[in-house]
Every structure is written in structure tokens, then in C-alpha cells.
């Protein structure tokens, strides 16, 4: 996929002489490129130039960024398959962005998304066997805890934070998120909690420490589970939190509470009934509650092909109705509360990216320049997705149908005093 | 449908003599009835007796009520088609309940619902033309404002209230509900609001008075619209609230905000895309917000046949996924917040029923004994439905996909000071 370093628009000499075809082919081609760019990006705050300095499109409005493209092959790819090619070209260095990367991507997605539906090809159905789940998770989450330590918060929470105020710092916001979750779950001392997809274990340990519950936590990432077990030992919580290197389908009840933060994206649409059955099996008959926190969509659409290829193999961000009809309705569960926190995820990604940029040279030195650019593009593109509303972040609180042990109002979520943390 | 006053188990004489078949038919029949009753209600806190005093089923647990049934024909109907026959028998006086009516119905629904699915026949698809919508609404809402004044709050709010504490009174809780809605809608002075299905106009007037917005409110009930217009005149709000005797499909934008409280139940599943299109048309492109408040279900299922026949012709209580996929997703709307207030509706119905019982003799004198019993059964049965989780009450806040003018957190919904009302 790597574009050649030289411009492709020369033909090999057949008489010992290099014949420039520029005059014959390039000028009409450039005209076509300019027209196509204008038809897609004509109203966007983006300018496009070639690396040789020739201007392809001058933004009609004050530009947020200039896209510098190495060669015409790259720009043709961008026009033919922007979904895939934007990420590839950025990772390869074949396209660079001078200016605000997030704003540029927000503008690009808006222009491409508004333009036509054929850009969004139907995603091939990804399979999600237990074995593939392990492989997919290892590919992403086992990149090494040291890598994530460079730019996540100190507790390594790799999901949307909750910023009590927009100015809050990342550490504070991840603590507030865990506190918000505990309050939404209305945890009581001595209760049993099943958590599937527990990451590095921060929430499981928080629930046990601050709310006195017992937690069985599941995760298929070896590196994450090792880290979580070590933390439990260091913090004297091994008696109250058990970590299993295991798929969500292995989760065992009985539990009073079921919680999953940022895992549903990896479950796959075809497995929502299986997830519902796991929840149904873990909770008692006619009783119990839980929460699903996941990246979603307003309308059914696959994730970007590039994200699926390079970042999250097999991932899918569902609509609420896909999750409700697929997982919750058949499992006799009732939706109690939904909160959309997409702007909090945009803020979280901005905080991650600040740290990532500060560690950029170290990432590039250890993982290579392409990897460093790929992850920058992923973080910036995700932020753009949440800002533009292409991506949503849903927290769905549920209870067994007919269980009347519900909070009377939500006012107590926002009360001053709480076991863990201050006001939300 | 009215059951005959005499017992049916006699055959006409063919030789001039009445031949009692009691000994030949009734005793085996009573055995069958007892076995069937036991198989359905054997674990319920209900006893069943015939009006002649013979015991059909003695509750194994301390009973919440005794069901007194006039004759065997009624009990056979109850066993064959409880969904329809319970309401009919109660209205006719063919079945009476001694004890706690709500608890009895909760127990009966639980027993019948748990037993088998064949009780819930698929509802015939009801049509919802504009003309039928007018007829259906008039049948229910035009019973006369004086009737509703007997048992609703002083502002005639005929939808689920919001009780800041379980002890709050009905007047306070209906005010708190309107305040909660205004806060969820984040109304700002000068904004334009479209309200469809505005009842007697209480919310429209509240929004205009306390939040300084302009409201266009639609309703097909003639009596309600007349009352609402009179209130607007009396309160000097005619310049800010306009009431239209018109179907939701006639609603016109542009508006900043779209709100509908307790109308979706009458729209019909097949019209959710039409409702979505109305919202889409009323809100500006890429901007705007709104709220739908409606009775829903955890799983798709028609309302009780009796409710559809006697109380709400054409009504349907949808699941969230039916509303999201049918109305919101196609209209480029994003779910921001969902709150399930089913226990608040149970409380609201309990408050209504207290007042209704206090006015019972007056209702019976003016509308007849059958009508009075019908409405008692409807209020008690609805309360049982919300308590048991067979019915839900959803408030769904939405915004245009990509509109970032969202509340940062929900904490401000629960702040102390507000234009209208105290803390929620």
C-alpha cells in the first residue's frame, strides 16, 4: 500500500530517452482532480496542495488546515476511497496536515459523509469466535502497558472519561467516571458484581475499594490481566476482586450487578443475543441491574474501513436500537437510564492526544514513524468523530423487568457526598 | 358481551319440565374450573369464590384479595381470554374484588403473563388516519373536562407526574414534571417550541410563562383545545402560546424545540417514520432538540385487548428500539438522555385513583355504574402495569445529530434554583 517516493507519471523509456508525459496526461488529470476536490471539499475549510507546491484547491472560507499531498496517486486514492485512504496516506506520510488535525478531519468527514452513501461500503460481517476475540484484543491491547502509560491517565483507563466541568484534568475525569458508574449502579456493600472487559482493572478495584462490593472481572488481554492482578495484590484487594483471563462468554453469576465498559464495540452485532444471555444467566431471576457503556451510532453504519483494518479488527459501534432489540429485550431487561457522553469522549481524546504529542518522539523511536503517525491519526480522527456526532458514547443503565429496587430519582447521582469522590 | 344475570347451566325443557343438569354437568365442570384456576393462579395471593359462596380456589399464601365471581360462564371466559374478560367482568359487575384491587391485578397479570404467550394475541394493526385520530381522541379526551376535573390535578395534566420525593402531592408532582421537562429541553427565552398532543395546555403555558418561549401547540381534542385557549386568554399568554385544533402531522416549524408528552401511544407503530419526518421538518437543518414522553414496553407486545377496546382505541405502547429505529434514526436525531419513570406513573395513578374513589358516587350518578367501574378498573390496572414492569414510562431527550449545543452534564437538571420551581 506504500506509495512510491517518485511521482508515477512517467513512462519507461523505450528508446533510451525519458519521455515526460506531463504535458499529455498530467494537465487534464490535474483539471479533473481539481474539479473532483472542489465538488467534495468546495465548502470545507480545507486547502489542498501537492508537495511540489502546486495548489489543488484553495479553501473558499478561512482554512483550518492545509492538506499537503505527496503525489497524484495519493490524491486519486483519497477521492476514490477516502474512508480507507485518508488513514493510509497519513500513516505513510503521503499526506500531511498543516494546521489543526482534528478540525481538518472533522471537516473532511463532514464533506465526505454529506456527499454520498457509496463511500460507506457495507462492512463484511466480522466473525467473533472466542479465539478471534483473543487475537483481536491482543493485537490492540497487548501493544504493551508501557505504550499506554505514555498517554493514558495513571490508572490506565482506556475509555471515555466524565468531566464534571470542561476544565477538569484527565486524572480527575477518570475518577469521576468511575464514581458516576458506581452511583448509576447504586452499589451496596457486600454485593456481587460481574465486570466483562475490565481493561487494566481500574473500575473493578475502585468498586471494591470505595463501595465494598466483590467483583469477578473478565478480560481476554493477557497484559492487562497481569497488570490488574498485580494492582489487586499491591492494594490488598485480592480477596475482593478476582481477575479472569477469559472471554465475556465465560462470565459466571450469580451477581447482583453486571457491568461492561467499552467492550460491546468488540462483541459484534451477531453476538448481542449471546451477550444478553450472559447477562440473563449472571443476574438472578426477576432481580438485578447493570450498565453497558459503549461507542455507538445514531444510524446503523460500519466503522471506518481504516479503523477496522489498522486499529480495531472486528469492531462495530451499534445504535441503541440494535443493542436494545438484540441484547436487552430478549434477556428480560428494562432500560432505566441512558446518557450520551459523546462530547466527554471528544474531551478525553483531546487530553490523550496532548499527552501523546508530548511523547510522540518516544513513540516514533520505539515503534517506528508509521506507527506513531497511525496512532496520531486514530486519536485525532476519533476526536473528530465524537465532535461531529458521527460517533456517540452511550451509558445504558438497565434493571430486570419488574425489579422495583430502582433509584427514586436521579438527583442522588449528583449529590455532594459519596464514598468515592466529590460532586459530579 | 354483558353476562346474563342467571346462571347458564340449565337446558330448556322439552317435556314441559325444567331438568337441572347441575348434577350431570356442573360438578365435573367445577372440578375442571378448580384445576385450571389452580394451574394459573395456584401461586398467586388470590382466592376465588362464586357469588353463591362456593370456594373455587383458596390462596396458598396470605391473599391480597378475594375475587368474587357471579357465575360459571364468567369464570370460563376469564380462563379462556383473561386479557379481555377481566376488564369486561369487572365493568359488568360479574366479577368483584374484595381487598386491594391494584395488588390483585398485579398478581393476576403476573400469573397470566408468566403462564403462556397464547393469552397475548397479536393485535390487529390499527389504522391511524387523521380522521380516525380525531375520532379516537374525542372518544377518550372529550368525555368532558368536568369528568377529568374530578380526579386530575387542578391544571388537568393527564400524564405521568414526577415526584421529587415519594411523599410529594399530585399538584406539586405535576409542577415538578413540567419543570423537569423544561430543564431537559434547556429552554431559553425567545426560543420557538412546537408541542404536539398538548392536552389541556398546562405545559405549553408553563413553558411560555416560566421560560419565556413562544409555543405552537397542537391537539385533536376539541374540548381540550377550548379549555387551553381560555386559559391562555385568562393568563395573558395569547401572544406567546397558540393552540391549534389539529393533528401532529399538521405541525409547522421552524422551531428550536419539539416536544410531545403522552401522544406517541396514539400515533401507531406504522406512523413513527411520519412522526420522525414531522420533527425533521419542524427543526432546522443540523440544529435543534426535543423530547418524547410516552408509555412503553420492555418487549414488543400489544396493549391489553380490553384497554384497546374500552379505553384507548388504536393505542400502542412501543419499545425504545421501535421508536428509535422508526422515528429518530431516519430523522437524523441523536438520543441524548433517556429516563424511565415507571414508578412515578404508578404513584401518579395511585394519586388519581384516591381522588377518583372520593368522587366515585358522583361519577356513577352522572355516567352510570358500568362506566364508573370501567374507569376504576382502568386506573387500578394501569397502576398494576407500571408497578409490575409490564408498562414503562420513557422520557427520551434528543438533539440533531452533530448539534453540539448540549448540556455539559445533567447535574444542572438537579440544581436548587430555576425559573419555575424548586429542586427536583
> In 3D, which of A101, A90, A99, A81 has the Cα closest to residue A40?
A81
Minimum Cα–Cα distance from B340: chain A residue: A336
Q: What is the mean pLDDT of residues A40-56?
A: 93
Does residue B329 belong to the interface with chain A, where contact is any CB pair within 8 Å? yes
The minimal CB distance from A298 to the residues B298, B329, B404 is found for B329
ipTM attached to this prediction: 0.90
What is the overall mean pLDDT for chain A? 88
* More reliable by pLDDT, A119 or A184: A184
Q: Do B259 and B290 contact (CB within 8 A), yes or no?
A: yes
Q: Which mean pLDDT values do the consecutive 10-residue runs of chain B (424 residues) have?
A: 37 46 70 90 94 92 94 89 90 95 92 56 57 72 85 95 96 96 97 97 97 96 94 96 95 96 95 97 96 97 89 92 97 97 98 97 95 96 95 98 94 76 58
Per-residue model confidence (pLDDT) at position B423: 56
Per-residue model confidence (pLDDT) at position B411: 94
Residues 294 to 323 of B: which have CB under 8 A from any A CB?
Answer: 298-300, 319-322
- CB A343 to CB B319 under 8 A? no
Q: What is the mean pLDDT of residues A8-34?
A: 61
Interface test with B, best of A106, A183, A279, A321 (most B CBs within 10 A): A321
- CB A392 to CB B325 under 8 A? no
Per-residue model confidence (pLDDT) at position A130: 75
In this structure, the strands spanning A333-340 and A289-296 are: unpaired
B341 — alpha (psi -120 to 50), left (phi > 0) or beta? alpha
Q: Tell me the CA end-to-end span of chain B in Å, nearest whole number.
A: 47
- Please report the number of interchain residue pairs, chain A to chain B, with beta-carbon separation below 8 angstroms: 123
Does residue A406 belong to the interface with chain B, where contact is any CB pair within 8 Å? yes
Question: What structural domains does chain A harbor?
Answer: 10-119 (3.30.1050), 130-414 (3.40.50.150)
Which helix (H) or strand (E) covers residue A238, if one does?
none
Minimum Cα–Cα distance from B409: chain A residue: A164
Q: Do B133 and B220 contact (CB within 8 A), yes or no?
A: yes
Q: What angle do CA B23, B25, B26 make, to 5 degrees?
A: 75
Contact list in B for residue A404 (CB cut-off 8 A) is 343, 387, 389
Per-residue model confidence (pLDDT) at position A112: 80
Interface test with B, best of A280, A346, A389, A390 (most B CBs within 10 A): A389
Measure CA B12 to chain center: 45
Distance (Å, whole) CA B178 – CA B185? 11
Using pLDDT thresholds of 50, 70 and 90, give the confidence band for residue A126.
Answer: low
Tell me the pLDDT tens digit for each residue of A285-295. Answer: 999 999 999 99
Evaluate if residue A350 carries a pLDDT over 90: yes
Share of chain A above pLDDT 70, in %: 88
Q: What is the mean pLDDT of residues A149-153?
A: 94
Q: What is the mean pLDDT of residues A170-199?
A: 97
> A33-37, A118-122, A293-297, B35-39: lowest mean pLDDT where?
A118-122
Query: Among positive and negative, which fits the CA dihedral A197, A201, A203, A208?
Result: positive
The minimal CB distance from B388 to the residues A321, A337, A402 is found for A402
Per-residue model confidence (pLDDT) at position A92: 94
* More reliable by pLDDT, A135 or A190: A190
Tell me the pLDDT tens digit for each residue of A385-401. Answer: 999 999 999 999 999 99
B180 — alpha (psi -120 to 50), left (phi > 0) or beta? alpha
Amino acid at each position: 500500500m506504500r506509495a512510491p517516493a517518485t511521482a508515477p507519471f512517467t513512462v519507461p523509456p523505450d528508446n533510451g530517452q525519458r519521455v515526460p508525459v506531463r504535458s499529455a496526461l498530467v494537465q487534464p488529470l490535474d483539471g479533473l482532480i481539481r474539479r473532483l476536490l472542489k465538488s467534495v471539499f468546495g465548502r470545507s475549510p480545507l486547502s489542498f496542495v501537492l508537495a511540489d507546491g502546486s495548489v489543488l484547491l484553495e479553501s473558499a472560507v478561512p482554512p483550518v488546515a492545509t492538506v499537503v499531498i505527496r503525489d497524484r496517486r495519493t490524491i486519486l486514492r483519497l477521492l476514490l476511497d477516502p474512508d480507507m485512504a485518508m488513514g493510509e496516506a497519513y500513516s505513510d506520510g503521503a499526506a500531511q496536515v498543516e494546521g489543526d488535525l482534528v478540525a481538518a478531519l472533522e471537516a473532511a468527514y463532514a464533506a465526505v459523509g454529506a456527499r454520498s452513501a457509496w463511500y460507506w461500503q457495507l462492512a463484511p460481517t466480522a466473525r467473533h469466535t472466542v479465539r478471534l476475540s483473543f487475537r483481536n484484543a491482543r493485537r490492540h491491547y497487548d501493544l504493551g502497558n508501557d505504550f499506554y502509560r505514555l498517554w493514558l491517565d495513571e490508572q490506565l483507563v482506556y475509555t471515555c472519561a466524565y468531566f464534571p466541568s470542561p476544565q477538569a484534568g484527565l486524572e480527575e475525569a477518570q475518577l469521576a467516571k468511575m464514581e458516576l458508574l458506581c452511583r448509576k449502579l447504586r452499589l451496596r456493600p457486600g454485593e456481587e458484581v460481574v465486570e466483562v472487559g475490565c481493561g487494566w482493572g481500574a473500575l473493578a478495584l475502585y468498586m471494591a475499594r470505595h463501595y465494598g462490593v466483590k467483583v469477578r472481572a473478565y478480560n481476554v488481554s493477557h497484559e492487562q490481566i497481569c497488570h490488574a492482578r498485580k494492582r489487586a495484590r499491591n492494594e490488598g484487594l485480592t480477596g475482593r476482586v478476582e481477575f479472569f483471563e477469559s472471554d465475556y462468554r465465560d462470565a459466571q453469576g450469580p451477581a447482583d450487578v453486571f457491568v461492561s465498559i467499552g467492550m460491546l464495540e468488540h462483541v459484534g452485532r451477531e453476538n448481542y443475543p449471546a451477550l444478553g444471555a450472559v447477562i440473563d444467566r449472571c443476574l438472578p431471576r426477576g432481580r438485578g441491574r447493570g450498565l453497558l457503556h459503549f461507542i455507538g451510532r445514531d444510524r446503523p453504519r460500519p466503522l471506518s474501513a481504516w479503523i477496522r483494518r489498522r486499529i480495531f479488527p472486528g469492531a462495530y459501534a451499534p445504535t441503541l436500537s440494535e443493542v436494545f432489540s438484540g441484547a436487552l429485550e430478549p434477556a428480560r431487561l428494562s432500560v432505566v437510564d441512558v446518557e450520551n457522553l459523546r462530547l466527554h469522549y471528544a474531551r478525553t481524546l483531546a487530553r490523550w492526544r496532548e499527552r501523546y504529542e508530548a511523547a510522540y518522539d518516544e513513540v516514533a523511536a520505539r515503534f517506528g514513524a508509521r506507527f506513531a503517525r497511525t496512532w496520531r491519526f486514530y486519536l485525532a480522527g476519533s476526536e473528530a468523530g465524537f465532535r461531529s456526532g458521527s460517533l456517540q458514547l452511550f451509558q445504558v443503565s438497565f434493571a430486570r423487568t419488574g425489579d422495583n429496587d430502582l433509584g427514586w430519582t436521579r438527583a442522588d447521582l449528583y449529590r455532594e457526598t459519596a464514598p468515592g469522590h466529590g460532586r459530579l
